[in-house]
Amino acid sequence: MKKNKKKMKTYVPHPRYGDVPMHQQRIYTDDDIRSSYWLYRSVTFFKQSAIPADISKQNYTTSPRRLYVDIEVRCVDCDRDFIFYALEQKYWYEELGFYIDADCTKCIDCRNKDKKIREQKARYEELITKKERTTTEIKELKDIAFELSKLDYLKNKSKLAQVLNMKGFSSINNVQ
């Protein structure tokens, strides 16, 4: 006799919330959730995860979110499914002050990748504009320049070549 097993959908794991919808204590109906915010009418949500919102802490124009609920989202960068958790939404909209209609479009892995690139670009700018660089800083600058060029953020190949050809201690800043 064959058992019909339903395959569970897999989501990109979040370091704080995991990779499955969270269960909360309160029970809300589908109608409660759909009527609590316009977006919830058109997304896949997990009603067992719904939590009440504090609209006095939200930044909105006309429609606050009266509830937060775990929703399924497809990452715009890697095309994998992830869960935008109700607790994460509460943090975004009530603690960080994000505009209520701003939605999470990237999974945690892609957000971390973007953050790393922003940090590398900032460090590159910091190192490239220094008047004097140590040997360690030159090595770091070369590594960052190489990584950023692989990602197509450094398009000027002659500038890249200048950085990659730097030797030892540098007191001349001719690459900007």
**CA-to-CA distance for 176 and 174, rounded, in angstroms?**
6
pLDDT in single tens digits along all 176 residues of the chain: 555 555 678 999 999 999 999 999 899 999 999 999 999 999 999 999 999 999 999 999 889 999 999 999 999 999 999 999 999 999 999 999 999 999 999 999 999 999 999 999 999 999 999 989 999 999 999 999 999 999 988 888 888 888 888 876 544 444 44
Structure-token pair, residue 37: 């915010």
Confirm whether 62 is domain-assigned.
yes
Q: What is the pLDDT of residues 24-38, one digit of tens each?
A: 989 999 999 999 999
Q: Are 28 and 22 in contact (CB under 8 A)?
A: no
**CA-to-CA distance for 66 and 144, rounded, in angstroms?**
44
Confirm whether 131 is domain-assigned.
yes
Q: What is the pTM of this model?
A: 0.79
Note down the domain range covering 126.
110-164
Pair (53, 74) in one structural domain: yes
